[in-house]
């Protein structure tokens, strides 16, 4: 069998392009984390750009004037929400840290009570194995409490380091202003310093990724925000009427975090919470949490078809694999990064994926 050298070179080239694309995307995420203030500024710019254009067309304003006015209004809202959120998080996180050991003891006592009431003689567990199970449960709770303690300690340290937070906020605000007012100049500079063919190819890829990934992230962000707001309002109402909910903002943020993960949803947190509350004797709280979860689910099912115009065409098993791979490489943040990298790769190699990726490279 005679191997065509040119065909072999083409196969190697395509494989190298695939590997290089994966490395480039991973490097892009590293740089995005490093330059987070600029990324936040760009995301805010995408949100306010339609309003800036509306003011320019409707009131015949110049771009700088329109951008400055919209920027002042947006920043006033954001700074107000940030001040309230940071102060509330500091208060709730401090209270949670001071009472964390007490909560761990309560959970451990609850588990011991339930396991002691269970008749292990039916499954013939030896006393040694029973002791191992109890010790494992205790060690697990201690390990989880340490993770929670370290997380909230780090969070409080970051939030209370005002010079650092203030520096990030100032950089973000200035970046947002320059991006909003000098958009055309930045595009001209990009075209001036890079070859025209590069700019055209980059524009095509950016446009395609923006349509698929950008639309998906925007839709998911809206859905997560709706879930967060509903859970936050509901939990504050429950707290005001006398239910045992001490940390409504932290719990709502946790629900939003879980709801942001693909495949998982708010029910992953709220259903077990309701069951535990009912088992502890607080049946009213368990029912209230289930009612709030049902309201969130119904609202999400109503608005999701209107916001998410199309599916990405990625099976949940591949999304799950991407989440697991991202977690193994990047930790918790990889749960978000993995599916996003999968979406970007699907967009870049869409034609080859439709033909069969490996088959299209080899053939």
Looking at residues 86-105, what average pLDDT do you find?
A: 78
Percent of the chain with pLDDT over 90: 6
User: Rounded distance, CA 147 to CA 153, Å?
Assistant: 10
Q: Does any domain span residue 41?
A: yes
Taking alpha carbons only, the member of 96, 104, 92 closest to residue 248 is: 92
Measured in degrees and rounded to the nearest 5, phi and psi for residue 242 equal 110, 5
Task: Tally the domains of the chain.
Answer: 1
User: Does residue 247 or residue 166 have the better pLDDT?
Assistant: 247
CB atoms within 10 A of CB 57: 10
pLDDT bucket at 290, cuts 50 / 70 / 90? very high
* Cβ atoms 250, 258 nearer than 8 A: no
Does the predicted model carry a pTM greater than 0.85?
no
Q: Residue 160 gets which letter from DSSP? A: H
Q: What is the pLDDT of residue 295?
A: 92
Greater model confidence, 346 or 85: 85
Asked whether residue 171 is assigned to any structural domain, the reply reads yes
* Helices (H), ranges, the chain: 5-34, 36-59, 63-117, 127-160, 162-181, 183-193, 196-209, 215-240, 248-260, 267-279, 283-307, 316-330, 334-348, 350-355, 357-362
What is the C-alpha to C-alpha distance for residues 238 and 286, in angstroms, rounded to an integer?
A: 12
Instruction: Flag whether 338 is in a domain.
Output: no
Question: Does residue 135 belong to any structural domain of this protein?
Answer: yes
- Asked if the model's pLDDT at residue 361 lies above 60, the reply is no
Full residue range of the structural domain in which residue 137 is found: 37-193
Encoding tokens for residue 14? 């395509």
User: Would the pLDDT of 115 be above 80?
Assistant: no
Task: Give the pLDDT band of residue 287 (cuts 50, 70, 90).
Answer: very high
Segment 184-205 mean pLDDT: 70
Q: Rounded distance, CA 176 to CA 71, Å?
A: 8
Whether pLDDT at 29 is above 70 = yes
> What is the C-alpha to C-alpha distance for residues 109 and 273, in angstroms, rounded to an integer?
17
Residue where the block lists tokens 């480039």: 24
**Range among 46-50, 60-64, 96-100, 295-299 with highest mean pLDDT value:** 295-299
| Mean pLDDT computed over 86-106 | 78
Range with lowest mean pLDDT among 228-237, 262-271, 311-320: 311-320
Task: Report the pLDDT value the prediction gives residue 233, as an integer from 0 to 100.
Answer: 93
**Are 76 and 83 spatial neighbours (Cβ–Cβ below 8 Å)?**
no
Is residue 112, in this structure, part of any structural domain at all? Answer: yes
Where is pLDDT greater, at 230 or 353? Answer: 230
Give the pLDDT confidence score for residue 122 in this predicted structure. 55
Judge whether residue 94 has pLDDT over 90.
Answer: no
Q: Report the mean per-residue pLDDT for the chain.
A: 76
How large a percentage of the chain has pLDDT more than 70?
68
Torsion of CA 11, 12, 18, 22, to 10 degrees: 160
Q: What is the pLDDT, as a whole number, of residue 66?
A: 85
Burial 14-45 (b: 16+ CB within 10 A, else e): beeebeeeeeebeeebeeeeeeebbebbeebb
170-186: average pLDDT: 82
Structure tokens at 26: 């991973």
What is the pLDDT, as a whole number, of residue 362?
59
Exposed/middle/buried for 213, CB within 10 Å: 0-12, 13-18, 19+? middle
Q: Which region among 9-23, 118-132, 144-158, 339-353 has the lowest average model confidence (pLDDT)?
A: 118-132
- Residue 1, pLDDT > 90, answer no
**Residue reference for tokens 């190699």:** 349
**96: in domain:** yes
Whether residue 95 is contained in a domain is answered as yes
Q: Which of 133-137, 287-291, 325-329 has the highest mean pLDDT?
A: 287-291
pLDDT of residue 156 exceeding 50, the answer is yes
Residue 309 counted as domain residue? no
Alpha carbon distance 328, 334 (integer Å): 7
Locus of tokens 């524009």: 203
CA distances from 41 to 172, 179, 180, 224 (A): 5, 8, 9, 20
Segment 230-247 shows an average pLDDT of 90
């Amino acid at each position: 069998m005679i191997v065509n050298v040119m065909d072999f070179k083409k196969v190697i080239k395509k494989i190298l392009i695939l590997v290089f694309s994966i490395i480039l995307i991973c490097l892009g995420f590293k740089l995005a984390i490093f330059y987070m203030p600029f990324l936040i500024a760009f995301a805010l710019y995408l949100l306010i750009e339609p309003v800036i254009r509306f003011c320019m067309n409707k009131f015949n304003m110049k771009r700088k004037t329109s951008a400055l006015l919209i920027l002042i209004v947006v920043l006033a809202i954001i700074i107000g929400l940030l001040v309230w959120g940071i102060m509330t998080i500091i208060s709730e996180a401090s209270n949670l840290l001071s009472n964390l050991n007490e909560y761990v003891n309560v959970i451990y006592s609850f588990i011991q009570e339930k396991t002691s009431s269970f008749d292990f003689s039916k499954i013939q567990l030896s006393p040694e194995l029973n002791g191992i199970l109890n010790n494992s449960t205790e060690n697990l709770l201690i390990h989880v409490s340490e993770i929670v303690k370290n997380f909230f300690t780090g969070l409080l340290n970051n939030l209370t380091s005002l010079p650092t937070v203030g520096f990030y906020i100032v950089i973000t605000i200035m970046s947002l202003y320059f991006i909003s007012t000098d958009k055309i100049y930045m595009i001209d500079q990009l075209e001036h310093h890079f070859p025209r063919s590069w700019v055209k190819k980059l524009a095509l890829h950016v446009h395609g990724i923006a349509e698929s990934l950008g639309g998906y992230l925007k839709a998911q962000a809206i859905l997560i925000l709706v879930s967060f707001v509903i859970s936050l309002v509901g939990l504050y109402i429950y707290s005001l009427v006398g239910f045992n909910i001490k940390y409504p903002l932290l719990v709502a943020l946790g629900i939003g975090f879980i709801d942001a993960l693909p495949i998982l949803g708010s029910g992953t947190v709220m259903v077990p919470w309701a069951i535990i509350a009912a088992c502890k004797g607080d049946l009213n709280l368990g029912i209230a949490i289930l009612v709030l979860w049902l309201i969130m689910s119904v609202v999400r099912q109503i608005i999701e078809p209107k916001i998410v115009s199309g599916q990405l065409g990625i099976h949940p098993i591949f999304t799950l694999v991407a989440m697991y791979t991202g977690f193994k490489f990047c930790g918790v943040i990889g749960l978000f990064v993995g599916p996003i990298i999968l979406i970007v790769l699907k967009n870049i190699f869409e034609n080859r994926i439709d033909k069969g990726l490996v088959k299209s490279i080899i053939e």
